[in-house]
Structure 1
Amino acid sequence: MRVFGIDIIKGSVRSRTRRPVYALCRVEDGEILGVEEVTGFRLQRILAAEEPDILAVDSIQEIAADQRELYTFLQSLPPATKLVQVTGGERTESLPKVAARYNISFNKFDPYAEARTTAQVAALGAGVEVIAFENTTDIVASRHRSPGRGGWSQNRYARKIHGGVMQKAREIEARLKGAGLDYEKKETKAFGGYSRAAFKVMAPREMVPVHSSRGADVQVRVSGRELDRIRFEPRSSRPRYLIVGLDPGTTTGIAAVDLDGNLVLLTSSRQMTMSDIIEELYRAGKPLIIASDVQQMPYSVEKIRRAFNAIPYTPKQSLSVEAKYDLTAPFSYTNDHERDSLSAALDAYRSLQNKFRNIVKRVKPGVDLDEVRARVLRGQPLDTVLTDLQGAPAAEKPAAPPIEPAPERPVEDERVMALDGIVKRLRTYVQELQEDLRERDREAERLRQSVRRARSATEQKVRRDAELATKDAMIESLREQLRDERRRSRRLKKRLERMQTVAKIELSEDYTPLKVLDSLTREGVRALQEGVGIAAGDILYVPRPHGWGRGVVKDLAGTGVRALVVGGEEPPDPHLVQLAREANLPLLPAETVSPEIRGRTGAAKTGAVEEAMGRWEEGQKEFLREQEAERVEYLFKEYRSEREKEVRRGG
Structure 2
Amino acid sequence: MKVFGIDIIKGSVRSRSRRPVYALCRMEDGEMLDVQEVTAFRLQRLLTAEQPEILAVDSLQEIAADQHELYAFLQSLPPSTKLVQVTGGERTESLGKVAARYNINFNRFDPYAEARTIARVASLGAGVQVIAFENTTDIVVSRHRSPGPGGWSQNRYARKIHGAVMQKGREIEARLRGAGLDYEKKETKAFGGCSRVAFRVAAPREMVPVHPSRGADVQVRVTGRRLDRIRFEPLSGRPRYLIVGLDPGTTTGIAAVDLDGNLVLLTSSRQMTMSEIVEEIYRAGKPLIVASDVQPMPYSVEKVRRAFNAIAYTPKQSLPVETKYELTALFTYTNDHERDALSAALDAYRSLQSKFRNITKRVGPGFDLDEVRARVLRGQPLDTVIEDMQGAPAPITEAEPAAPAQERSVEDERVMALDGMVKRLRSYVQELQDTLRERDREVEHLRQSLRRARSATERRIRRDAELAAKDAAIESLREQLRGERRRSRRLKKRLERMQAVERLESAEDSTPLKVLDSLTREGVRGLQEDMGIAGGDVLYVPRAHGWGRGVIKDLAAGGVRALLVGGEPPDPNLVRVAREAGLPLIPAEPLSPVIRGKTGVVGSLALDEAIAAWKEEQKEFLREREAERVEYLVREYRSEREKEVRRGG
- The CA deviation at 1:272 is 1.7
Matches within 5 A, 1:60-459: 60-391=60-391
1:170-218 per-position Cα deviation (integer Å, ceiling 9, x unaligned): 1111111111111111111111111111111111100111100011111
CA deviations over 1:73-107 (Å, ceiling 9, x no partner):
11111111110111111111111111111111111
Structure-2 separation of matches of 1:303 and 1:228: 42
Rounded to whole Å, the distance in 2 between the matches of 1:114 and 1:291 is: 37
Report the AA paired with residue 43 of structure 1: L
- Three-state SS of the structure 2 residue aligned to 1:324 is helix
Amino acid at match of 1:112: Y
Share of identical aligned residues, percent? 86
Distance 1:51 1:194 in 2: 34
Q: Counterpart of 2:233 in structure 1: which amino acid?
A: E
- Per the alignment, in what secondary structure is the counterpart of residue 243 of structure 2? strand
How many angstroms apart in 2 are the aligned matches of 1:270 and 1:152?
85
Whether 1:49 and 2:38 are equivalent positions in the alignment is no
Letter in 2 for 1:284: A
Residues 599-651 of structure 1, C-alpha deviations (whole Å, 9 max, x = no match): xxxxxxxxxxxxxxxxxxxxxxxxxxxxxxxxxxxxxxxxxxxxxxxxxxxxx
Letter in 2 for 1:146: S
Amino acid at match of 1:320: P
The superposition leaves residues 404-436 of structure 1 with CA deviations (integer Å, 9 ceiling, x where unpaired) of xxxxxxxxxxxxxxxxxxxxxxxxxxxxxxxxx
Output the amino acid matched with 1:308.
F
Cα displacement string for residues 558-580 of structure 1 (whole angstroms, at most 9, x for unaligned residues): xxxxxxxxxxxxxxxxxxxxxxx
Aligned to 2:28: 28
- 2:192 aligned partner, one-letter code: G
The alignment's TM-score, normalised by the length of structure 1, stands at: 0.60
Q: Secondary structure at the match of 2:268?
A: strand
Name which one, 1 or 2, has greater alpha-carbon Rg.
2
Structure 1 residue 72: deviation in Å? 0.5
Shift of 1:340: 1.1
SS at match of 1:349: helix
Distance 1:108 1:78 in 2: 30
- Write the letter of the residue equivalent to 2:313: Y
AA of the residue aligned to 2:76: S
| Pairwise CA distance, 1:370 | 0.4
Letter of the structure 2 residue corresponding to residue 201 of structure 1: V
Q: 2 CA distance for matches of 1:191 and 1:291? A: 77
Q: CA RMSD in A?
A: 1.2
In 1, Cα distance between equivalents of 2:131 and 2:292:
41
1:9 offset after TM fit, Å? 0.3
In structure 2, what residue type is equivalent to 1:50?
E
- What secondary structure is seen at the aligned counterpart in 2 of 1:118? helix
1:256-289 residue CA offsets vs partner (Å, 9 max, x unmatched): 1100000111111222221121111111111111
> Shift of the alpha carbon at 1:339?
1.1
- Offset at residue 392 of structure 1 (A): 8.1
Which amino acid letter does the alignment assign opposite residue 374 of structure 1? A
Once the two structures are TM-superposed, the CA of residue 295 in structure 1 deviates from its matched residue by: 2.1
SS of the equivalent of 1:27 reads strand
Provide, for residues 394-413 of structure 1, a one-character-per-residue CA deviation record: whole Å limited to 9, x for no partner: xxxxxxxxxxxxxxxxxxxx
Say which SS state the counterpart of residue 92 (structure 1) adopts: coil
* Structure 2 residue identity aligned to 1:73: F
Q: How does 1:530-545 map to 2 (within 5 A)?
A: none
1:332 offset after TM fit, Å?
A: 1.2
Detail structure 1 runs of 4+ shifted over 2 Å in the superposition: none
Residues 511-555 of structure 1, C-alpha deviations (whole Å, 9 max, x = no match): xxxxxxxxxxxxxxxxxxxxxxxxxxxxxxxxxxxxxxxxxxxxx
AA in 1 matched with 2:358 = N
SS at match of 1:367: coil
Matched position secondary structure for 1:7? strand
Q: CA deviation at 1:53?
A: 0.6
1: CA distance, partners of 2:6 / 2:392? 30
Q: SS of the residue aligned with 1:187?
A: strand
Aligned residue-pair number: 393
Distance in 2, Cα, partners of 1:134 & 1:302 = 44
CA distance in 2, matches of 1:247, 1:238: 27
